[in-house]
Amino acid sequence: MNTILIIEDDKHLLRLYASVLEKAHFKTFEALNGEEAFDILNKQYVDLIITDVMMPEMDGFEFSEALRTIGDRTPILMITAKSTFEDKQRGFKLGIDDYMVKPIDVKEMVLRVEALLRRAKIFSSQELVIGETSLNQEELTVIERVQGKKESTELPQKEFQLLYKFLSYPNKIFTRQQLMDMIWGLETDTEERTIDVHVKRLRARFEGNSDFQIVTVRGLGYKAVVTHEK
Return the bridge partners of 146, or none. Answer: 149
Long-range CB contacts for residues 213-219, cutoff 8 Å, separation at least 24: 214/163, 214/166, 217/173
pTM comes to: 0.58
Taking Cα atoms as reference points, which of 190, 210, 199, 187 lies closest to residue 161? Answer: 199
pLDDT score of 143: 94
Q: Is 193 exposed, middle or buried (0-12, 13-18, 19+ CB in 10 A)?
A: exposed
Q: Is 101:83 a contact under the CB 8 Å cutoff?
A: yes
- Please state whether 140 falls in left (phi above 0), alpha (psi between -120 and 50) or beta: left
Non-local (6+) Cβ contacts of 41 within 8 A are 5, 72, 185
pLDDT score of 124: 44
Distance CA 211, CA 227 (A): 5
pLDDT score of 228: 65
Distance CA 52, CA 48 (A): 14
Taking Cα atoms as reference points, which of 112, 188, 47, 80 lies closest to residue 179? Answer: 188
Superfamily of domain covering 3-119: Response regulator (3.40.50.2300)
How does pLDDT run across 72-105, given as a tens digit for each residue? 888 999 998 877 888 888 888 888 999 999 999 9
pLDDT score of 123: 46
CA distances from 10 to 7, 22, 27, 183 (A): 9, 18, 20, 28
Taking Cα atoms as reference points, which of 122, 27, 113, 36 lies closest to residue 77? Answer: 113
DSSP 29-98: EEESSHHHHHHHHTT---SEEEE-SS-SSS-HHHHHHHHHHTT----EEEEES--SHHHHHHHHHHT--E
Query: Domain boundaries in the chain?
Result: 3-119, 127-226
Distance CA 182, CA 230 (A): 26
**Same fold across 3-119 and 127-226:** no
Q: Is 153 exposed, middle or buried (0-12, 13-18, 19+ CB in 10 A)?
A: middle
pLDDT score of 219: 87
pLDDT score of 187: 64
pLDDT-flagged residues of the chain (< 50): 123-124, 230
Q: Could you say which architecture CATH assigns to the domain 127-226?
A: Orthogonal Bundle (1.10)
